């Protein structure tokens, strides 16, 4: 049975795989909340100023949760930037 990469919980159903990590539903929801919040701030700034905010500054607000999930900021930044680029430029 798969084990959550963050909390170590053994999961049989309802888990999410992102890149090489397995997330239980609770950890996946926490990660999705962070990504959604940062992504929405990036989109707002891109629409209004045509720039992308400093992701390190945006992620500082979620530092405690990121540490609890045992994730690196670069892991989350890669996900946010991939989704942002897809939204701005579309799939090619």
Asked if residues 22 and 10 have their Cβ atoms less than 8 Å apart, the reply is: no
Give the domain ranges of the chain. 27-89
89 band by pLDDT with thresholds 50, 70 and 90: confident
Question: What confidence tens digit (pLDDT) does each residue in 25-50 have?
Answer: 999 999 999 999 999 999 999 999 99
- Give the number of other Cβ atoms within 10 Å of residue 76's Cβ: 20
Question: What confidence tens digit (pLDDT) does each residue in 56-79 have?
Answer: 999 999 999 999 999 999 999 999
Q: What is the pTM of this model?
A: 0.86
Does the pLDDT of residue 91 top 80, yes or no?
A: no
21: β partners: 18
- In angstroms, the CA 75 to CA 81 distance is 10
- Give the number of other Cβ atoms within 10 Å of residue 38's Cβ: 22
């Amino acid at each position: 049975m798969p084990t959550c990469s963050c909390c170590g919980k053994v999961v049989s159903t309802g888990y999410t795989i992102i890149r090489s990590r397995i997330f239980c539903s609770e950890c996946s929801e926490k990660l999705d909340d962070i990504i959604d919040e940062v992504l929405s701030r990036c989109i707002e700034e891109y629409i209004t100023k045509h720039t992308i905010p400093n992701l390190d500054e945006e992620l500082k607000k979620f530092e405690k949760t990121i540490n609890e999930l045992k994730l690196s900021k670069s892991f989350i930044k890669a996900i946010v930037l991939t989704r942002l680029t897809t939204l701005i430029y579309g799939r090619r």
